[in-house]
Amino acid sequence: MKTRRLGALDVSAIGLGCMGMSHAYGGQDEAASIATLHRAIDIGVTFLDTAEVYGPYENEILVGKAIKGRRDKVTIATKFGFRIAPEAGDGVDRMAGLDGSPANAKKVADESLKRLGTDVIDLYYLHRPDPAVPIEDTVGAMADLVTAGKVRHLGLSECDPETIRRAHAVHPIAALQSEYSLWTRGIEEAVLPTIRALGIGLVPFSPLGRGFLAGSVTSTADLAANDFRKKLPRFQDDALAANARFVAVLDRIAAKHGITKAQLALAWVLSKGDDVVPIPGTRRIERLEENAAAVEVTLSAADIAEVEAAVPPDEVTGARYATGSFVPRKPGATP
């Protein structure tokens, strides 16, 4: 597997988003998830992404089990930044608000280390900026964790340019995680130039449009009863039907190259620079291997232009999230 650099951190050129193994998309059998994680490590997909809130807690525990005895082969990224309600309920319903306080940054790091079964987190992200806490205070506490040897590198997720610059002034930020794919390109105008100027890498989550660009979701009937995509505007049946034309065109382009729609969509993301490391999520070994093979796909400038023309972002039907979700609202942030 090729490698890429996020700030001062070297990682596999494509990572694995672990969230769906135990959160948001219905989950799966633990043994099957661990088998997929082990296969990822075996083929060099060693940049593993998890978070406290996935489950909550369950995903970090799962990843910790999978990397036992293999810790030196993987790069572990995890995140903090939410208040989690103590009452029973699924992980999405237990998100009770944002908490970017210094105390929470340090508390969650200690708890994540225990769940992951390790003594250091390679990349520790602020999951969402907390408007009630100055970013300088949050990143200052994260920097203390680096000094203490509990964290190696710092990251941010879904931040606007001003917040990124202020955070980076406190301590070097290695990576920004943000949604980025053929149908979600809001970071290109202001966020991407900002992080490039600062030497910060980009970690696109949902690079396959939460499965839509791979053709795995054509109606709400394809989603499990507890799949959180049912709450997203883009995954309502009318929006799915309106956007289906994009997938049809991607299918035709992919066929010309002898690759799958998923590989084409990932190759497009990968083509955006050596500082871009997508983390497609999957629960299945065959999809993992399919995604990893996208690293070997080379697109010409003409290919890239054709793919981009096939999915004009301003023609996509439906917003990323419903109103009131924990997403950035400042100018320059992704909608």
Q: What is the pLDDT of residues 264-279, one digit of tens each?
A: 999 999 999 999 999 9
- The rounded radius of gyration (Å) of the Cα atoms in the chain is 19
205: phi then psi, degrees, rounded to nearest 5: -100, 160
Place of tokens 């999809």: 287
25 is an active site residue: no
Asked if the model's pLDDT at residue 93 lies above 70, the reply is no
Q: What is the pLDDT of residues 311-327, one digit of tens each?
A: 999 999 999 988 766 55
Q: What is the mean pLDDT of residues 121-137?
A: 98
From the list 25, 54, 57, 124, the catalytic residue is: 54
pLDDT confidence band for 85 (50 / 70 / 90): confident
Q: What is the pLDDT of residue 226?
A: 82
Identify which has the larger pLDDT, 29 or 11.
11
Q: What is the mean pLDDT of residues 137-154?
A: 98
Q: What is the pLDDT of residue 55?
A: 87
Task: Tell me the CATH number for domain 3-315.
Answer: 3.20.20.100
With CA atoms as reference, report the closest residue to 205 among 230, 176, 234: 176
Residue 175: C-alpha distances to residues 11, 50, 94, 119, 129 (Å) = 11, 15, 27, 21, 14
**Residue-averaged pLDDT of the chain:** 93
Asked if the model's pLDDT at residue 158 lies above 80, the reply is yes
Q: What is the pLDDT of residues 192-215, one digit of tens each?
A: 999 999 999 999 999 999 999 999
